[in-house]
Structure 1
Amino acid sequence: MAKTTNVLSDIQLKRWVAKGEPVAKSDGDGLTFTLSKGGTAAWVLRYRSGGRRKELTLGNYPDLGLAAARERARAHRVAVDEGRDPAAEKQEQKTRAMAAWTVRELVTDYRGKCLRGGHLAPGTIKYRDYDLDDVVLPRLGSRDVHRVTTSDIVSVLIGIKRTWTITRRIRTTLSQVFDHAIALQIIPANPCAGIKLTALKGPRPPVRKRVMLSEEELRKLLPDIEVIGMENALAFRILLATCVRTSELVKAKKSDIDLDNGSWWVPDENVKTRSGFSVPLTPTVVGWFRELVELSGGSDYLLPARQERRRRNKGGDTHVAATTLWAAICRAFDRREIEVRRFTPHDTRSTAKGHLRNLGFSREISEIALNHVLVGMEKLYDVREEIPERRVALEKWAGFIVACEKGEPSPAPAYNVVSLRSAA
């Protein structure tokens, strides 16, 4: 009995596409029209090879029309009748083509499939892009992937003359790119394997110890903090009082701040952990926010870029750079206008944590104030967005900051504040 073929019509295809529901309709002799939930229409040839069922995607509809799909399917069926496997041949051709890739082609594929997958923080993507564009592609871009050796990687890492930490980051970027090549079966092993930074750069320099500014230092620093500029001084006070990271503050949009209700939402994309959180704002901190809002003019950002060049490079309205506050503090130190130990904006977090503990708050509450992830059962069961204990702690901490700035007595420690565990 002859096989039924040429079952479908153009009218049917257009009707199914317009309806948008998933379908799989046979045109006969293995040629099948498919429409996915996502709305992608494609032609698939189904056949058997070596006793196993196989599928070969011929192309997408309407790029590949009905008549062309039938013609292409007919040619592949001839190959099947000759004992060949079209799907396997297609994969072999693809593998051979990838085996001839240059590092530049590999990087393009890595960026599309791995770097933009949505699981990396924006800051990580930024640094990976910088490493690829500034280091990897200029030095290795034209090289065939399978010809890159460990010696080539060592030469790159030595030749860039970067710090120990930056060199380690670039090695990680290179390693991930060549891991991608292994996954694609372009190379059997990673040329970055076995490279030790201690052999190239010596021992890792000591990690800088975090600074906790003492009460005495805060009483020296805060009354004259406006030597770094009014906007920077307000930003520093907010950074200190809210315990957030510098990047979370500089990226803040005014639309995320509810001053009437004393709340600031830090969205996922601005957070290191990619999980947004709510920051309670005490009346004192609300006042500082209001001053910054007034200074920000018509910008969407609380801390808008101050240089036209940065706005132009970013395509319009944008926020100040994450290093702006640190640069202002460094200049004040260089001018000997700050008479305390050198610190960075991030040291505001260690300063806050230490003083919260001194003020009588538990370790858990101080961790919550810094938006550190809880562990154990607290992490599992405490899923509140608004945590009253955090507001109480930040109110006490803001009062301490104001007392230091105004030369007033410090608030009494809150030794009656209990931990989350004992309160449960």
Structure 2
Amino acid sequence: METNKLSDVKIRAAKPQDKLYSISDGEGMFLEISPKGGKWWRFKYRFNGKQKRLSLGTYPSTSLKAARDKRQQARELLASGVDPGDQRKAEKMATETALRNTFAGVAEEWAQNKVSSEKWTPTTERKRRIWLNNGLLPFLGSRPISEITTAELWNVLQRTQKTSGYTANRLRGMASEIFNFAMATGRAENNPALPLQGQIAVKKEKHRLAILEPEEVGKMLRAIDACQAAATTKAAARLAPLVFVRPGELRHAEWSEIDLKKALWSIPAEKMKMREPHVVPLSRQAVAILKEIQPLTGHCRYVFEGTKPGEPISDNTLNKLLKTLGYKGRMTQHGWRAIARTLLDEVLDVRVDWIEHQLAHSVRDANGRAYNRTSHLEGRVGMMQQWADYLDGLKAEGPAEEVNGASQEA
């Protein structure tokens, strides 16, 4: 039987025709040429009385010599009584299984499970993947997860601990969850992250900055009212203390979520940290601010649209405003939550469970059942109006010029 009939010159000279055709190299191998010019190497053989074909790659990505080597390997398998097609499927399955059993493979399944079970918001997923991609996957990703040792994980975490013990500790926690997932799915027998619990030195984290003295809160509110910031920025800064939601929830507020007639803002679960829908009663003052900004952004998706059309203000906009007003190192946007929590409880003597519920913290009844989003809504409506009136009182206690930079642009 004639073999090795083809050459690179003959292959390059083979032009596309109206229909698919092939040119033989011998011993079952041929080059298939499509009407569009694509060229595929094929190997034709018989196994257990059945005619079969095996793809050997495309030309020129797979050279003539490489295709012939693959043909020889296939013929050797046939001589040993092995179907080369079945062998390839088994090898592919083994490779896929090996990849699924690596730390990276298990970590991806674990992350997808978090997303599909709605335990992660898009923001949380983005942050966790950044940690994974920077702190764990470059060093452990290709390793079979069942072979990773405690010492190996410790050495990886030490790289991060040099710059941030807090992040290293979070990475250890993530790794522990991934190993637990591997154990649950039968790909590991132990969790090497467990012995490292409590072993990573973490510097005492500073609490998010917040000004808790009523007099100072009043000064800050007056400074915000007097600033010359962009209209959307100033409106968001004025609304923030009245609703004390998380900064991301505030800047992503959409007009479709707000009912000005009912004075309610309904935030969907996917935007909330706890993945539960949340209702924010709007005081008269909050409604007034929203009505002021409505002519400017009412046609937009976001209440506080930024400079880029279709996008909200950036996550740094309001913190930058506070710095401009002289509060660098003293107050962050998240601080309004601590301020509300403290003053509502200690000054206004509001029920703690109402406060916690309005902060969208997990609150349970006497039987351990989580309250739904409308629990104590009537009481919280009154609380939010009482809070807005209290803030107005604080603002009225002094002049607007008390904070340097109040008139600067932001």
TM-score where L is the length of structure 1: 0.62
1:356 Cα deviation from its structure 2 partner: 2.3
1:119 Cα deviation from its structure 2 partner: 3.1
**Which residue of structure 1 lines up, in the alignment, with residue 386 of structure 2?**
396
1:203 Cα deviation from its structure 2 partner: 4.6
**Which residue of structure 1 lines up, in the alignment, with residue 151 of structure 2?**
151
CA distance in 1, matches of 2:285, 2:126: 35
- Out of 318, 322, 326, the residue aligned to residue 311 of structure 2 is 318
User: Which SS does the other structure have where 2:366 is aligned?
Assistant: helix
**Which residue of structure 2 lines up, in the alignment, with residue 104 of structure 1?**
104
1:297 Cα deviation from its structure 2 partner: 6.2
CA distance in 1, matches of 2:240, 2:138: 39
**Which residue of structure 1 lines up, in the alignment, with residue 127 of structure 2?**
127
Matched, 1:348 2:336: yes
CA distance in 1, matches of 2:349, 2:107: 52
CA distance in 1, matches of 2:120, 2:375: 23
1:197 Cα deviation from its structure 2 partner: 5.1
**Which residue of structure 2 lines up, in the alignment, with residue 5 of structure 1?**
none
CA distance in 1, matches of 2:375, 2:351: 19
1:348 Cα deviation from its structure 2 partner: 0.9
User: Which SS does the other structure have where 2:195 is aligned?
Assistant: coil
Give the number of equivalent residue pairs: 303
User: Which SS does the other structure have where 2:326 is aligned?
Assistant: coil
1:338 Cα deviation from its structure 2 partner: 2.7
CA distance in 2, matches of 1:124, 1:339: 28
Q: Which runs of 5+ in 2 are unaligned?
A: 1-89, 400-410
**Which residue of structure 2 lines up, in the alignment, with residue 178 of structure 1?**
179
Cα deviation digits, residues 147-190 of structure 1 (max 9, x gap): 32222212221113442222221112222222222223322222
| Pairing 1:247-286 to 2, within 5 Å after superposition | 247-286=248-287
1:241 Cα deviation from its structure 2 partner: 0.9
**Which residue of structure 2 lines up, in the alignment, with residue 165 of structure 1?**
166
Q: Is the 8 A contact 2:304 2:312 kept in 1?
A: yes
1:300 Cα deviation from its structure 2 partner: 0.6
CA distance in 1, matches of 2:343, 2:352: 11
Q: Per the alignment, do residues 354 and 115 of structure 1 end up closer, same or farther by CA in structure 2, a change over 3 Å counting?
A: closer
Q: Per the alignment, do residues 253 and 350 of structure 1 end up closer, same or farther by CA in structure 2, a change over 3 Å counting?
A: same
Deviates more, 1:166-175 or 1:220-229: 220-229
Cα deviation digits, residues 40-85 of structure 1 (max 9, x gap): xxxxxxxxxxxxxxxxxxxxxxxxxxxxxxxxxxxxxxxxxxxxxx
CA distance in 2, matches of 1:381, 1:115: 22
Q: Is the 8 A contact 1:131 1:173 kept in 2?
A: no
Q: Per the alignment, do residues 367 and 147 of structure 1 end up closer, same or farther by CA in structure 2, a change over 3 Å counting?
A: closer
1:292 Cα deviation from its structure 2 partner: 3.4
1:111 Cα deviation from its structure 2 partner: 3.3
Q: Per the alignment, do residues 378 and 302 of structure 1 end up closer, same or farther by CA in structure 2, a change over 3 Å counting?
A: farther
1:98 Cα deviation from its structure 2 partner: 4.5
Q: Is the 8 A contact 1:99 1:186 kept in 2?
A: no
Identity of aligned residues (%): 23
User: Which SS does the other structure have where 1:211 is aligned?
Assistant: coil
**Which residue of structure 1 lines up, in the alignment, with residue 245 of structure 2?**
244
CA distance in 1, matches of 2:298, 2:216: 34
Equivalent position amino acid for 1:342 in 2:
R
CA distance in 1, matches of 2:333, 2:149: 41
CA distance in 2, matches of 1:355, 1:273: 24
Q: Per the alignment, do residues 133 and 406 of structure 1 end up closer, same or farther by CA in structure 2, a change over 3 Å counting?
A: same
| Pairing 1:195-214 to 2, within 5 Å after superposition | 195-196=196-197, 198=199, 200=200, 202-208=201-207, 211-214=210-213
Deviates more, 1:353-362 or 1:278-287: 353-362
CA distance in 2, matches of 1:388, 1:191: 50
1:406 Cα deviation from its structure 2 partner: 3.9
Q: Per the alignment, do residues 182 and 251 of structure 1 end up closer, same or farther by CA in structure 2, a change over 3 Å counting?
A: same
Q: Per the alignment, do residues 385 and 267 of structure 1 end up closer, same or farther by CA in structure 2, a change over 3 Å counting?
A: farther
**Which residue of structure 1 lines up, in the alignment, with residue 320 of structure 2?**
327
**Which residue of structure 2 lines up, in the alignment, with residue 192 of structure 1?**
193
**Which residue of structure 1 lines up, in the alignment, with residue 326 of structure 2?**
338
CA distance in 1, matches of 2:258, 2:100: 53
Q: Is the 8 A contact 1:99 1:146 kept in 2?
A: no
CA distance in 1, matches of 2:297, 2:379: 31
CA distance in 2, matches of 1:299, 1:348: 26
1:253 Cα deviation from its structure 2 partner: 1.0
**Which residue of structure 1 lines up, in the alignment, with residue 363 of structure 2?**
374
Larger relative CO (CA 8 A, sep 6+): 1 or 2?
2
CA distance in 2, matches of 1:381, 1:144: 40
Equivalent position amino acid for 1:135 in 2:
G
Equivalent position amino acid for 1:377 in 2:
A
Cα deviation digits, residues 349-386 of structure 1 (max 9, x gap): 22123332313433344334434443333975975457
Q: Is the 8 A contact 1:365 1:389 kept in 2?
A: yes
Q: Is the 8 A contact 1:221 1:338 kept in 2?
A: no
**Which residue of structure 1 lines up, in the alignment, with residue 236 of structure 2?**
235
Q: Per the alignment, do residues 373 and 140 of structure 1 end up closer, same or farther by CA in structure 2, a change over 3 Å counting?
A: closer
CA distance in 2, matches of 1:382, 1:150: 41
Equivalent position amino acid for 1:396 in 2:
Q
**Which residue of structure 2 lines up, in the alignment, with residue 299 of structure 1?**
300
Q: Per the alignment, do residues 218 and 104 of structure 1 end up closer, same or farther by CA in structure 2, a change over 3 Å counting?
A: closer
Q: Which structure's CA Rg is the greater one? A: 2
CA distance in 2, matches of 1:246, 1:143: 39
CA distance in 2, matches of 1:340, 1:215: 19
